[in-house]
Structure 1
Amino acid sequence: MELPVVPPEAKQPSRFFFAVLSGVVFFAAYASVTIGNKTIDALIYSVTYNGSYLAVEEIITIIVISIPPVKKALDYVKQMANSR
């Protein structure tokens, strides 16, 4: 039986969505930031905060899994998982 494989780049949008959602729901009390005389609400703060580190992480992930030895090792692990 072959297991479905979801590529890492397909997981990021849902991870971003739930990170922003939890930021708005659970951390709204801490997310109100005042810059000058303007207050940034929890949604904008959460999108900015989570987007900044998730975008960098996604770029690094794509670069690492594109390295031939890493790609070969991942294919080997997938093959082993599907053969059981």
Structure 2
Amino acid sequence: MPLHQKLWLDPNRRDFDKEFEDEFDKKEWQGLVAADFSRFLNAELEKNSEIATGDVEFVQWKVLTAQELRLVQDDVKGAF
């Protein structure tokens, strides 16, 4: 599993892994996870429907996903 996905799925690892915490705090992982999800969503929509998707949809999914990831990160930080 790529590091950016580990950062997304295991935020509590920051409590005992300083290098992990440093990477998490850079916030670069959010854009990478958003891009992964956007590619996945476009592929699924194209495979399972008549909806044509492309770069415009990819960018929109990525922006919306990145916004949600930032909110999740804020919630995680607020919980500790």
**TM-score, length of structure 1 as denominator length:** 0.45
Question: When you count strand as a share of all residues, which structure comes out higher?
Answer: 1
**TM-score, length of structure 2 as denominator length:** 0.47
Larger relative contact order (CA 8 Å, sep ≥ 6): 1
Question: When you count helix as a share of all residues, which structure comes out higher?
Answer: 2
Larger radius of gyration: 1
